[in-house]
Structure formats: C-alpha cells, structure tokens
C-alpha cells in the first residue's frame, strides 16, 4: 500500500484527501517510480476543480522526480535504480507513480530532485516559449506577464541571456525585486500601474516584439495594444480565466499581429525533443546560468494548503510536495 492524494468530486482544494491505496502495477511499457518530489502546477487545480476533465476518482499531479523501482516487460529506455523526472503523467501526488517510459527523462548527478522537478513543466515551458513559440533574438523587447511566477522567472532569465530587453509585470514590490534579480530591465507593478500606458512609455510608443502571457482573460485586450506592428502574442495559460472569442480582423486592425495558443505537449511531442530540451535546461542549471526558485515545500498531506497558496499567488517560484 502507499499514501496518495485522491479527488473523488471536483471542487476547491478541500476535495483533496490523503488516503492509502495499492501501489500501481506498471504496464509493459511503463516504469514504477518512487516519488521523491512532486510538482504543484496550475493545471492540477484545473483538473481538481473540473475545468479540465478526467474520470473520477483520480490522483492529481502531473510532474515529479524520483527513482525507478520496477520496469515493465517491454521497457528499453529506463532501468531499475535510474534517477528520473517527468511531466504529463497524472497520479504524481503519491508515494509511487506508474509512468510511460517515454515520459521519463534521466536526471544527471549534478541536479537535485527539487531542481529537476522545477525544470520539467515550468522549465520546459519557458524553454519552448523563448526558443520556438517566438524565437527571441538579441535586441528584441519582450513583455513577460507574471514575471515572478514559476514560468515567469525562468522566461526572464532565458530572455535576458539571449540579450533581449525584458519588461515584466508583477503584483507586488517584493516580486518586482525577484524579477529584477532574474534579469528584467523594467518592472511594472500591475496592482498600482496600468501596464498598457507603462509599456507604451517604456518603448517610446513603439510597443514590444512579443508578449508571453500565461494570465489570459485579464490581460488579453491590453496585450493587443502594446505590441509592435507584426508583433507576436504567445498565450500559454489562463490563470485569470479563458480569453473571450476574438475576431481575426482585430489582429489586422492592431498591426497584422500574430497570436498563438500553445501547450507544452506539442513542444515535447517526440522523445528526441523532450530529451533535447531537458538536457539543455539541466546543463544551464548545473552550470549556474539558470536558477530555479523553490518557493515552498509541503508534506504530501498538505496538498490542499499548497493549492490554496498557489491560487492566492502569494509565493514566487515553484511549489513542491514531498511524499
């Protein structure tokens, strides 16, 4: 038997309960992993409250790091004893998870379980945003919303390393300091400054080359007003709710703007791409050029508190559960 968090009905954080369940048996193409660290992500809250659907009851959690303890009969990529990390495997809020082997990436000795977990969903997202969704170049200007969030701090560091000018939006002065430490050139505290006129002022009325936005509804309309002609809006999340339907004619009126709604799975669709991205991230973390910020670690039993903190957006950086 093992401890796990179970959701029997959708709702607020209180619907997550700690229970004892049998340890899962890996299918032929799966490996059983003893979970050392599980990552907490906004998508977990969307499954929990029913915005994203999965059959009930279920064990939440999509991401973590640990050690392979058993391998299915057809596995070729991992062996018992391997340190691995993963994202996109439901059931990670538990002592053990059975994961398809193609989701598991090797974790080098120089990387801790905490760093590996923080590099998965949020690190991979930041990596594809600046390298592929819009290939950011030195000299371009990027607007990064929620610049002190888990993804935001990583996007800011990667964009700064490329040589782009970074304007970040944050909710408080403390978060503004974190964004600046990560490499933001300008910080807008959106709780007291309207980001639209501020971005126009900071760019001399020209606007930005790209907006990286995981917020959605609350920022969408103003995003279209702060972009350069032929600028790019990359929507990668919807923490404030989904964006209302948009008439493509509006994009032409605002300057032939480009808009993409991206999701991580499409940028790690092949094993080769997944390994290339994680290897690049792990190398940067090991070399000290990319820092992952761990905001707080919670015992597995306190998953509900972790979700409350995540949804209150009080903490800057990565939230982790420790089984």
Q: Report which of residues 66 and 241 the model is more confident about.
A: 66
pLDDT at 240 over 90: no
pLDDT at 317 over 90: no
Convert the pLDDT of each residue in 89-108 to its tens digit.
999 999 999 999 999 999 99
Convert the pLDDT of each residue in 152-183 to its tens digit.
999 999 999 999 999 999 999 999 999 999 99
Convert the pLDDT of each residue in 189-231 to its tens digit.
999 999 999 999 999 999 999 999 999 999 999 999 999 999 9
Q: What is the percentage of the chain residues whose pLDDT exceeds 90?
A: 94
Q: Kindly report whether the peptide bond that precedes residue 57 is cis, defined as omega within 30 degrees of 0.
A: yes
- The tokens for 225 are 């007003």
Q: Domains in the chain, ordered, with CATH?
A: 2-120+270-322 (3.90.180.10), 138-261 (3.40.50.720)
Convert the pLDDT of each residue in 262-275 to its tens digit.
999 999 999 999 99
- Please state the rounded mean pLDDT for residues 278-299: 96
- The tokens for 94 are 């538990």
Query: Is the Cβ–Cβ distance between 89 and 105 less than 8 Å?
Result: no
């Amino acid at each position: 038997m093992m401890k796990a968090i179970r959701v029997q009905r959708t709702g607020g954080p209180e619907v997550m309960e700690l229970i004892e369940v049998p340890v899962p048996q890996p299918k032929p193409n799966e490996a059983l992993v003893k979970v050392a660290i599980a990552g907490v992500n906004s998508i977990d809250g969307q499954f929990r409250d029913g915005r994203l659907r999965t059959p009930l009851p279920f064990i939440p959690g999509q991401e973590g790091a640990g050690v392979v303890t058993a391998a299915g009969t057809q596995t070729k990529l991992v062996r018992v004893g391997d340190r691995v990390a993963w994202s996109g495997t439901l059931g990670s809020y538990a002592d053990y998870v059975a994961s398809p082997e193609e989701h598991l990436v090797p974790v080098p000795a120089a990387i801790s379980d905490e760093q590996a977990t923080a590099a998965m969903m949020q690190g991979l997202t930041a990596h594809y945003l600046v390298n592929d969704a819009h290939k950011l170049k030195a000299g371009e200007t990027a607007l990064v919303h929620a610049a002190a969030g888990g993804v935001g701090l990583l996007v800011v560091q990667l964009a700064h390393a490329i040589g782009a000018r970074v304007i970040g939006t944050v909710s408080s002065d403390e978060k503004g300091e974190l964004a600046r430490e990560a490499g933001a050139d300008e910080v807008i505290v959106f709780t007291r400054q309207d980001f639209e006129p501020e971005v126009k002022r900071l760019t001399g009325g020209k606007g930005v080359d790209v907006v990286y936005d995981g917020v959605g509804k609350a920022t969408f309309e103003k995003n279209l007003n702060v972009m350069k002609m032929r600028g790019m809006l990359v929507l990668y999340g919807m923490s404030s709710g989904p964006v209302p339907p948009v008439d493509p004619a509006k994009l032409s009126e605002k300057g032939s703007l480009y808009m993409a709604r991206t999701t991580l799975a499409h940028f790690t669709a092949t094993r080769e791409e997944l390994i290339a991205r994680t290897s690049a991230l792990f190398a940067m973390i090991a070399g000290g050029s990319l820092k992952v910020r761990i905001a707080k670690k919670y015992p597995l039993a306190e998953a509900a508190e972790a979700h409350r903190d995540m949804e209150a957006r009080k903490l800057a950086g990565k939230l982790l559960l420790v089984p």
